[in-house]
Amino acid sequence: MSLGKFIVIEGLEGAGKSSAISVVEQALQQANIAFEKTREPGGTVLAEKLRELVKSADHNEIVTQETELLLMYAARSQLLVNKILPCLEKGLWVIGDRHDLSSRAYQGGGRQIPDDVMDAIAGATLKGFKPDLTLYLDIAPKIGLERARARGELDRIELEALSFFERTREKYLALAKCDDNIVIVDASAPMADVHAAISHHVSNFISNIK
């Protein structure tokens, strides 16, 4: 049995990741490809508990940026070893709601943690593992945050200043432009156009695999 493929959806708050994932699901179903879904942080029992720690705005102490970074990678390591890799080895494809690119953008860009620190932690936990295809949904932070606020209460990270998300977006774009496996999708376009672009990129990826 051939190994499965790992497709990741990335983007700022309000970029439309949930609906984008549904489009990817439909493309895989039409191609008769069996798949599983994951989210980060989270995806396993322990990783979901780490997610709660990272995203909660109710801590009575400051969450340091180093603590946030390490919790993210601890959750990612749990998910990779206990779910993603076993699924891929069975020939299942995996759709990921975020992966390492999120940490590179949010902690590396937003928090301005140096690249060498990011590289060291990613190297120790991921050991060179990378998605086969990443769809980055690009949107201006101001627009994305307005959408996120309309959904309801914001979590700890979503409460950051606009400048944090501007730095995060800059990092996303810089990294995407240096990696052929990352596709930039204009998430500010009409929803039908965004979904059509996602479907096109996923269908092309499937065709090239087959």
The tens place of each residue's pLDDT in the chain, 210 residues long, gives 579 999 999 999 999 999 999 999 999 999 999 999 999 999 999 999 999 999 998 888 999 999 999 999 999 999 999 999 999 999 999 999 999 999 999 999 999 999 999 999 999 999 999 999 999 999 999 999 999 888 887 889 998 999 999 999 999 999 999 999 999 999 999 999 999 999 999 999 999 986
d(CA 24, CA 14): 18
Domains of the chain: 6-209 (3.40.50.300)
CB-based contacts of 87, cutoff 8 Å, min separation 6:
4, 36, 93, 94
Question: Six-digit token pair at 78?
Answer: 């749990």
Per-residue pLDDT, 1? 54
Name the pTM for this structure.
0.95
Q: How far is CA 115 from CA 89, 119, 134, 171, 202, in A?
A: 30, 6, 20, 11, 30
What values do phi and psi take at 35, rounded to 5?
A: -150, 165
Q: How far is CA 21 from CA 68, 96, 124, 134, in A?
A: 26, 8, 29, 12
Per-residue pLDDT, 82? 98
Question: Six-digit token pair at 16?
Answer: 């439309």
Rg (CA), the chain: 17
d(CA 161, CA 146): 13
